[in-house]
Chains A and B, each alone.
Chain A
Amino acid sequence: MKFDNKIFKFIFIVPVIIYSVFLIALPLLYIFWISFLKNDSYGGIINVFTLQNYIDIFADVYIKIFLRSFLIALGTTFICILISYPFVLAVSHKNKKIQQILMTLVMVPFLTNSLIRMYGFTVLLRKYGVINQILLNTSLINEPLELMYNTFGIMIGMVYTLLPFMILPLYSSVLTIEKPILEAANDLGASKWQTFKKIILPQTLPGLFNGSLMVFTPALGYFFIVDILGGGKIMILGNLIKNQFLTARNWPFGAAISVFLILITSILIWGYKKIGGKMDDLGGM
C-alpha cells in the first residue's frame, strides 16, 4: 500500500516538474545568460561577459522601434476596450441561449489561424482590393485609399486578432453584475453614463485589466501582422527580435531585447496582481 502511494505520487508530480524545469525555466534562463555574451561575426556566441547588448538597446534606432511598439500596443488595447464594452453589454442583454450562441460565434474565427485571417485582410484592404473596388465602383472615392502597408493596416490587424482576448474576460466580468442593481440605478434616475461609471466599470475592472494584459503584451510581439499589413517597412519589437535571431544572427542582442520584453511583462503582471487580479483568470475559459 505504501509503495503504491509512492508510485502514485511520482506519476502525478514528476511530469509537471520536468516540464516546468526543462521547457520553461531552462530556456528562459538560457536566454538571460546569452544576453550577457558577445556574438561573433558568423552568428555564433562567444563566452565573454559583456553589457554591450543592453547598452545597444538605447541606440536611437531601437528607441524609435520601442516607442512605436508601445504606441501600437497601447492604441490596440484602447480600441479593443472601446469596441468590447458596448459589445459585451449588448450580448448580456440577450437571453441565456442567444448569449451562448453569440459567444461561441466570437470564438469561431479563432479556429482558423490568425495568419490566414491576416491574408484575408490583404484581399480586402489592398490597393485594388475588395473594399477599394466597392468604393470606386460606387463612385464614393476617385482614388483607391491606402488601407494597408501603413500603421492603419497594422492597427486593423492587431485589433482584429486581439479583440476576442478583451471580449472574453470582459464578458465574464459583466455576468457578475447583478441585474437588480442596474434596475435600481435606473429607477433612481441614473443616466446611462452614470450607471456605467458607478456600477458597470467598477464591477468589470478585473476583466478589463485581464483583457488589457492579454491584448497589450502579445501586441508587442506579433511580427507577422506588421510584416503582412505593414508592408515590411515598419518594425515593432517582435520584428526586431525575429531579425536578430533569423537574419542578422545576433542572438545575444536578440536575447537582450527579449529580456527587456520579459521585464515589461513582469511589471504589468505585478500591477495586475497588486489590484487583486487572479493569475488563473488569465488562462481560463
Chain B
Amino acid sequence: MKHNKFLDNICLFLVFTFLFLPILVIILFSFNTSRLNIVFEGFTLDWYRELFNNTSLLIALKNTLIVAFVSTIVSTIIGTISAYGLKKYNFPFKRVVNELLYIPVVIPEIVLGISLLCIYTLLKLELGMFTLILAHISFSIPFVIINVRSVLENMDPNIEQAANDLGANKFKTFFYVVLPSLVPGIMSGAQLAFTLSLDDVVISYFTAGPGSNTLPLQVYSMIKTGVTPDVNALISIMLLIIFALLMISAIVNLRKLKYEVTR
C-alpha cells in the first residue's frame, strides 16, 4: 500500500517539534549571557558554575532524585509481590482490593493528593520527605502491579508445577523460577513508576512539606518572581543524564529486537 511519505514526515516533524520545543528553549537559554530569559545575547557557561553555589536548588534536585529512586524501588517490590499474590491466592474481599487498585490510575491526581493530605493531617503526620515518598509509592504501586500482571498472565503454570514437583519450596520457586520470567514486566513497571515520580507535580504539591521541596515545586515558586538562568542549567544537566539512560535502554531494546528478528 502506498503512503504519502512526505506528509507522514511533515506530521512527525511537527509533532516532535511541538514536544521538544519547550525543552530545547530551556537548554538554549542555559548558555545565554543575559540574566533575562528573553533574547539570546551570547554564549556563556557561567550559569553552570553558578549552579553549584545555589544550595537551595541543589537540595531540591537531591530531594527529587531521592523521592524518585526510593519510591520506584519500594513500589516495584511491593507491586511485584502483590501481582503474584493476587494471582495465586484467594482471600476475603479480593475483588474489592482488585477494584481499589484501579483508583490511583484513573482518578484525577488532585483528588488523590488532597485525600492523602487529609489522612496525613488526621494522623498528625508532619509533611516532609516521608509523606512525600509515601504518596509517590502509593500512586506508583498499581502501575507496577498492572505491568507485572500482564506478564504473569502469559506465564505457563506448568513451569511452577514442575519446580514444585522437583522439590523446590514456594520461596525457591518464586525466586528462581517465577521472578526471572517476570523481569520484562517488572522493568516496564519500574520505568513507569520512575517516570511518574519525576513527572508528578499535583500530588507532590499537597504532600510535600517545608523541608522536602522538589525541583518542580521550587521552579513553581520561582515562576512568579522570575526563574534564574542557573535553573535552566540544572534542567539541562538532568536532561542530559536522562537522555543517556534512555539511549542505553533503547540500544538494549534494539539488540533484543534484532535478536528476535534474526532468530
Q: Which A residues form the contact surface with B (CB < 8 A)?
A: 1, 4-5, 8-9, 11-13, 15-17, 19-21, 23-28, 30-31, 34, 83, 86-87, 89-91, 93-94, 96-97, 100-102, 104-124, 128-130, 133, 160, 163, 179, 182-183, 186, 213, 217-218, 220-224, 228, 238, 241-242, 245, 251, 254-255, 258, 261-262, 265, 269, 279-280, 282-285
A-B contact count (CB 8 A): 263
> How far does the Cβ of A170 sit from chain B's closest Cβ, in whole Å?
12
Give the docked Cα–Cα distance between A25 and B85 (Å). Answer: 20
| Contact in complex: A265, B199 (CB < 8 Å) | no
B15 and A283 form a contact (CB under 8 A)? no
A112 and B107 within 8 A (CB): no
Separation of A217 and B206 alpha carbons in the complex (Å):
19
Chain B residues positioned under 8 Å from A5 (CB to CB): 170
Determine whether the beta carbon of A106 is less than 8 Å from that of B147. no
Cα–Cα distance between A284 and B145 once the two chains are bound (Å): 9
Contact A217 to B22, CB < 8 A, known contacts A12-B84, A112-B238: no
A114 to B22, CA, bound (A): 10
Closest residue on chain A to residue B171 by CB atoms: A8
Q: B202 contacts the other chain (Cβ, under 8 Å)? A: yes
- In the bound complex, residues from chain A placing their C-beta under 8 Å from that of B150 are 280, 284
Type the 1/0 row for B75-88, where 1 means its CB is closer than 8 Å to any CB of A: 00010011011101
Q: Are A113 and B19 in contact (CB under 8 A)?
A: no
User: Assuming A31-B118, A100-B253, A223-B110, is B102 touching A279 (CB within 8 A)?
Assistant: yes
A and B contact pairs by CB, cutoff 8 A, 29 listed: A4-B170, A12-B82, A20-B100, A26-B119, A89-B8, A97-B257, A100-B250, A104-B250, A107-B195, A109-B22, A109-B23, A112-B235, A113-B201, A117-B23, A119-B227, A163-B15, A186-B1, A213-B106, A217-B107, A218-B108, A218-B109, A222-B202, A245-B114, A251-B118, A254-B114, A279-B102, A280-B146, A282-B106, A283-B105
Contact A122–B122 (Cβ < 8 Å) = no
Kindly list chain A residues whose C-beta atoms are within 8 Å of the C-beta of B118.
27, 30-31, 34, 251, 255
Contacts of B206 in A (CB 8 A): 245
Is B81 a contact of A15 with CB atoms below 8 Å?
yes
CB-contact partner of B8 in A90, A101, A163, under 8 A: A90
- Residues 99-132 of chain B: 1 if any A CB is under 8 Å from the residue's CB, otherwise 0? 0111111111111101111110010000000000
CB–CB A13/B89 < 8 A? yes
- Please determine whether B21 and A124 come into contact, CB atoms closer than 8 angstroms: yes
User: Chain B residue with minimal CB distance to A258?
Assistant: B111
Docked Cα-Cα span, A222 to B109, in Å, equals 8
Interface of B is mostly: helix
Q: Which residues of A lie under 8 Å from residue B174 when comparing CB positions?
A: 8
| B81 CB contact (under 8 Å) in A12, A119, A245 | A12
Which residues of chain A are within 8 angstroms of B108 by Cβ–Cβ distance? 217-218, 220-221, 238, 261, 265
Q: Within the complex, what minimum Cβ distance (angstroms) separates A219 from chain B?
A: 9
Q: Is the CB of B104 within 8 A of A24?
A: yes
A149 to B: closest C-beta gap in Å: 13
Residues of the A chain whose Cβ atoms lie less than 8 Å from the Cβ of B16:
105
What distance in Å separates the Cβ of B180 from its nearest Cβ neighbour in chain A?
Answer: 17
Within 8 A of A (CB), among B126-154: 134, 138, 141-143, 145-147, 149-150
Scoring A90, A104, A182, A186 by chain B CB atoms within 10 A of each residue's CB, the highest score goes to: A90
Contact with A along B2-27 (1 / 0, CB 8 A): 11010111011001101111110110
Q: How far is the CB of B257 from chain A (nearest CB, A)?
A: 7
Q: Which residues of B contact A113 (CB under 8 A)?
A: 198-201, 215-216, 219
Is A116 in contact with B26, judged by CB distance below 8 angstroms? Answer: yes
| A217 and B192 alpha carbons, distance in the complex (Å) | 19
Q: B216 to A116, Cβ gap below 8 A?
A: yes
With the chains together, A120 CA to B232 CA distance in Å? 9
Bound Cα distance from A129 to B29, whole angstroms: 12
**Distance in Å from the Cβ of A101 to the closest Cβ of chain B?**
7
- From B3, B116, B145, B243, A108 is in contact (CB under 8 Å) with B243
Cα(A28)–Cα(B174), bound, Å: 34
- Determine whether the beta carbon of A90 is less than 8 Å from that of B11: yes
Kindly report which residue of chain B lies nearest to residue A105, judged by CB atoms.
Answer: B16
Closest A residue to B235 by CB, please name it.
A116
Pair A111/B195 contact, Cβ less than 8 Å: yes
- Give every chain B residue within 8 A of A105 (Cβ-Cβ): 16, 19
Q: When the two chains form their complex, are residues A17 and B38 in contact, meaning their CB atoms are under 8 A apart?
A: no
Q: Which residues of A have CB within 8 Å of B73?
A: none
- Whole-angstrom distance from the CB of A150 to the nearest CB of chain B? 17
With CB as the reference atom, state the residue of chain A lying closest to B245: A111
Q: Within the complex, which residue of B37, B82, B115, B199 is in contact with A114, where a contact is CB–CB below 8 Å? A: B199
Contact across chains for B89 and A9 when beta carbons are under 8 A apart: yes
Does A19 contact B78, Cβ atoms closer than 8 Å? yes
Q: Which residues of B contact A86 (CB under 8 A)?
A: 11
Distance between A85 CB and nearest chain B CB, rounded to angstroms: 10
Q: Residues of A contacting B219 with CB < 8 Å?
A: 113, 115-116, 119
Q: Do B223 and A119 touch across chains, with their CB atoms under 8 A apart?
A: yes
Min C-beta distance of B183 to chain A, whole Å: 14
